[in-house]
Amino acid sequence: MSLPLVLASGSQIRADLLRAAGVSFGIEVARVDESSIRDSLLAEGAPPRDVADALAEYKARKVSDRNPGALVLGCDQVLSCNGKLYSKPDSPEEARAQLLELRDQRLHLLSAAVIYEGGEPVWRHVGVARLKMRAFSEAYLDDYIERNWESLRSSVGGFKLEEEGVRLFASIEGSHFTILGLPLLELLGFLEVRGVIAG
């Protein structure tokens, strides 16, 4: 019998992606202090890829401790531009400031996933998408934030590419699933090898 899969995330979109792919799983949200972990890693000079991977691992490990018989999937996504990491905005003003900094810039969106089993990591992957933001007007930016604040407040950088946020961009390179926050194709490959899903 295959091990149950537990998603250590409260992300609706990650859960929707797994369901749409026909994967059975449970959900147990990992409660970790992401800000302090991120700040500590950045103080040590960790690159964005390592920050995303470490945050995903913290979440998987925490939930794995309570579910020793399960495969526990931890995920995290970070946005990097010119050596700086961007987080979910805490206010419309912060979203505006972030998006003005990102305007007309090249960004890297990194989506990390780590699976723990029995308190140990057994699989990990970090997907990278490269994006070029348009030189949009401040008038459009203000209208965009006013229309979309309740949605964009839960997204790193202050945009969701699956919604109106796509209008902020001139080009996007990378997996659609990486952009949504889950390297799904790579994950499905691992789950098939482990016998969690049929191949």
* Per-position pLDDT tens, the chain of length 199: 356 899 999 999 999 999 999 999 999 999 888 889 999 999 999 999 999 999 999 999 999 999 988 999 999 999 999 989 998 899 999 999 999 999 999 999 999 999 999 999 999 999 999 999 999 999 999 999 999 999 999 888 999 988 999 999 999 999 999 999 999 999 999 999 999 999 8
Helices assigned H by DSSP within the chain: 12-20, 34-43, 48-66, 92-102, 138-152, 176-180, 184-193
Total-model pTM: 0.91
76 is catalytic: yes
3-state secondary structure of 112: strand
Q: Which is the catalytic residue, given 65, 76, 90, 143?
A: 76
Q: CA–CA distance from 154 to each of 28, 82, 114, 158 (Å)?
A: 19, 22, 21, 8
3-state secondary structure of 144: helix
Dist CA 69 CA 16 (whole Å): 24
